[in-house]
């Protein structure tokens, strides 16, 4: 098979992994030698017609796999053609793309061949060759095989910026049914190991006297959960996410709506991917991490353990907590402003700054490009008082639901919220 055909097959097989981030690693640049730089902010070098960011060369080393995960196009019993890159081919492709400014780096994953250790070794070889032989300073994300030996995980973190292990399904029962060879305790154990080493390296960097203490995955670890392949509700998914953030200090949990694949297993729903649900989960995740919400608070905005699909989770929460509003634009503490639907964290900071210089009016918010229609019912300002009864009106929800809002709101959040 020629390189182009391999690339087509092994990129196609990698596209179900939602991760695309290339941010949050240490700063590096090539003025003292080497090729490449990382400056904190990730860069999306292109967008595919699915609206997703293309930041890294995201491919599998091979799509052959001894496991048989039902949701995966590469599972052992699928009829797809198989291919495998050589280390030299992957290195050459990564460098050729990088030099032309197509990508920020490499995201390398793989089906499991022979054994977890063997597979992990192959992934590491690619990263090591890039770093050691070619002085590559761009971003490297390696998928980690949880069952691989601890020494291999340790070496992976030396070369990679980010490591990830996908939990894929939020409950053991689903994992048993759909990915029988995957072992949740092993996944947890490996995440724990990575978390320990990441924290250690971070501490060493903080206290280092000499230059360059040993590095370990400076951009941390992330994971992915598939949404809609099993019957897990949003409570279970968000709960699992919150648990992972807390236990292992993950940088990011990705939610990936189960997408139909060619050669699908009959265990799975032949349905379009639940994009809107995925989007709401990202919004909820954001509220958890940056807006001071708790999981149960967010879920209280919906019904029966599911988020409200029609409106965003902050608005859903506010509509069920109307007694907490309106809040005064000029006297409310930051934490309360963060709970106002339509006010983002950045604008809350700007409002707090502007308050130092005088009263802030609703008209001022328009200049900060705040959606006035959305915030108005929940705010009190010198030039604004919501119509009496509006906040308690059963019609408020309908009024705030943008006409044709489905399409506009279904934009995947991971693009703009790039960690």
Partner 1 sequence: MRRPEAPQPAGAAAAEAFSVALEGCADFAAWRLAARRLLAAGIPPESVEWRTPEDPPGLFGGRPPPEAEGPPLPVPRDFVEMAELAIRHADRERFALLYALLWDSQTRPGLLRTPTEPRMARLAGMARAVRRDAHKMHAFLRFREIGTPEGPRSVAWFEPEHHIVEAEAGFFVRRFAILRWSILTPRRCAHWDGAALAFTPGARRADAPAEDAAEDLWRTYFASIFNPARLKPDAMRAEMPKKYWKNLPEAAVIPELMQGAEGRVRVMLGQEFRAPRRRQKAEGD
4 binds, among partner 1, ligand SF4, none (CB under 5 to 8 A by kind): partner 1
**Considering Cα of 48, then 50, then 56, then 59, what sign does the dihedral take?**
negative
> Of the candidates 108, 191, 219, 365, which one interacts with partner 1 according to CB under 8 A?
365
CB of 263 to partner 1, least distance (A): 7
Specify the stretch interacting with ligand SF4 by CB under 6 A; choose among 72-80, 126-134, 202-210, 244-252: 72-80
> Of the candidates 150, 180, 196, 260, which one interacts with partner 1 according to CB under 8 A?
260
Instruction: Annotate 209-241 with DSSP letters as a single string.
Output: SSS-PPP--TT-EEEEEEESSSS--HHHHHHHH
> Of the candidates 133, 231, 246, 357, which one interacts with partner 1 according to CB under 8 A?
357
Regarding 263 and contact with partner 1 (CB under 8 A), the answer is yes
Read off the tokens for 44.
Answer: 């999306």
Specify the stretch interacting with partner 1 by CB under 8 A; choose among 163-171, 181-189, 292-300, 350-358: 350-358
> Of the candidates 1, 30, 173, 334, which one interacts with partner 1 according to CB under 8 A?
30
Angle, alpha carbons 373-375-378 (nearest 5°): 120
Specify the stretch interacting with partner 1 by CB under 8 A; choose among 58-66, 207-215, 316-324, 385-393: 58-66
Specify the stretch interacting with partner 1 by CB under 8 A; choose among 48-56, 179-187, 245-253, 296-304: 48-56
Distance between CA atoms of 338 and 287, rounded to whole angstroms?
9
Read off the tokens for 164.
Answer: 């990830």
Give bridge partners of residue 106 from the DSSP assignment: 57, 140
Distance between CA atoms of 76 and 72, rounded to whole angstroms?
9
Task: Compute CA 394 distance to the chain's CA centroid, rounded to the nearest angstrom.
Answer: 35
Regarding 356 and contact with partner 1 (CB under 8 A), the answer is yes
Distance between CA atoms of 80 and 91, rounded to whole angstroms?
25
Distance between CA atoms of 215 and 381, rounded to whole angstroms?
50
Residues in binding contact with partner 1, number by CB under 8 A: 86
> Of the candidates 9, 130, 253, 281, which one interacts with partner 1 according to CB under 8 A?
9
CB 121, CB 112: distance < 8 Å: no
Site for ligand SF4 in 128-187 (CB under 6 A): 179
Please identify which residue in the block is written with the tokens 């977890």. 116
| Interaction mask 195-224, partner 1, x per CB under 8 A | ------------------------------
Site for partner 1 in 309-328 (CB under 8 A): none
Give bridge partners of residue 143 from the DSSP assignment: 164
Site for ligand SF4 in 50-69 (CB under 6 A): 65, 67, 69
Residues in binding contact with ligand SF4, number by CB under 6 A: 9
CB of 112 to partner 1, least distance (A): 8
Distance between CA atoms of 176 and 241, rounded to whole angstroms?
19
Task: Compute CA 263 distance to the chain's CA centroid, rounded to the nearest angstrom.
Answer: 27
| Interaction mask 107-136, ligand SF4, x per CB under 6 A | ----xx------------------------
CA-wise closest residue to 268 among 296, 322, 226: 226
Question: Judged by CB, which is closer to partner 1: 14, or 307?
Answer: 14
Q: How far is CA 338 from CA 332, 350, 391, in A?
A: 10, 12, 18
Please identify which residue in the block is written with the tokens 């502007």. 354
Q: Which residues contact 9 (CB under 8 A, 6 or more apart)?
A: 1, 63, 80, 81, 83
Question: Judged by CB, which is closer to ligand SF4: 57, or 60?
Answer: 60
Question: Judged by CB, which is closer to partner 1: 41, or 212?
Answer: 41
Distance between CA atoms of 279 and 254, rounded to whole angstroms?
11
Angle, alpha carbons 407-408-410 (nearest 5°): 65
Regarding 72 and contact with ligand SF4 (CB under 6 A), the answer is yes
Distance between CA atoms of 362 and 381, rounded to whole angstroms?
6
Regarding 34 and contact with partner 1 (CB under 8 A), the answer is yes
Question: Pairing relation of β-strands 46-47 and 53-54?
Answer: antiparallel
Specify the stretch interacting with partner 1 by CB under 8 A; choose among 12-20, 143-151, 203-211, 283-291: 12-20
Regarding 101 and contact with partner 1 (CB under 8 A), the answer is yes
Regarding 76 and contact with partner 1 (CB under 8 A), the answer is yes
Site for partner 1 in 121-150 (CB under 8 A): 135
CB of 323 to partner 1, least distance (A): 29
304 binds, among ligand SF4, partner 1, none (CB under 5 to 8 A by kind): none
Site residues (vs ligand SF4, CB under 6 A): 65, 67, 69, 72, 74-75, 111-112, 179
């Amino acid at each position: 098979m020629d390189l182009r055909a391999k690339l087509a097959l092994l990129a196609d097989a990698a596209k179900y992994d939602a991760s695309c981030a290339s941010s949050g690693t240490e700063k590096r640049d090539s003025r003292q030698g080497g090729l490449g730089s990382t400056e904190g902010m990730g860069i999306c070098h292109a967008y595919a017609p699915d609206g997703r960011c293309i930041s890294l060369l995201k491919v599998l080393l091979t799509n052959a796999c001894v496991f048989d995960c039902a949701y995966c196009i590469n599972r052992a019993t699928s009829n797809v053609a198989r291919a495998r890159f050589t280390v030299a081919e992957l290195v050459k492709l990564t460098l050729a793309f990088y030099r032309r400014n197509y990508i920020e780096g490499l995201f390398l994953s793989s089906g499991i061949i022979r054994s977890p250790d063997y597979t992990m070794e192959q992934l590491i070889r690619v990263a090591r060759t890039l770093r050691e032989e070619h002085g590559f300073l761009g971003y490297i994300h390696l998928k980690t095989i949880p069952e691989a030996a601890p020494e291999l995980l340790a070496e992976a973190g030396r070369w990679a910026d980010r490591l990830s292990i996908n939990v894929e399904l939020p409950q053991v029962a689903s994992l048993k049914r759909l990915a029988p060879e995957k072992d949740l305790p092993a996944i947890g154990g490996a995440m724990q190991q990575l978390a320990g080493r990441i924290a250690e390296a971070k501490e060493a960097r903080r206290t280092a006297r000499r230059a360059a203490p040993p590095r370990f995955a400076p951009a941390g670890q992330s994971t992915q959960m598939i949404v809609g392949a099993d019957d897990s509700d949003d409570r279970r998914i968000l709960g699992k996410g919150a648990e992972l953030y807390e236990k292992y200090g993950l940088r990011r949990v990705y939610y990936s709506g189960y997408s139909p694949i060619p050669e699908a297993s009959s265990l799975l729903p032949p349905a379009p991917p639940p994009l809107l649900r995925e989007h709401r989960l990202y919004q909820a995740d954001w509220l958890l991490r940056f807006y001071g919400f708790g999981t149960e608070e967010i879920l209280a905005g919906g019904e029966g353990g599911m988020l409200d699909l029609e409106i965003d989770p902050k608005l859903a929460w506010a509509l069920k907590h109307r007694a907490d509003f309106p809040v005064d634009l000029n006297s409310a503490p930051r934490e309360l402003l963060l709970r106002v639907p339509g006010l983002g964290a950045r604008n809350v900071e700007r409002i707090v700054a502007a308050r130092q210089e005088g009263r802030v009016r609703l008209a001022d918010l328009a200049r900060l490009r705040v959606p006035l229609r959305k915030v108005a019912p929940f705010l009190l300002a010198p030039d604004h008082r919501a119509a009496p009864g509006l906040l308690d009106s059963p019609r408020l929800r309908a009024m705030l639901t943008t006409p044709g809002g489905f399409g506009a709101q279904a934009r995947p959040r991971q693009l703009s919220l790039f960690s």
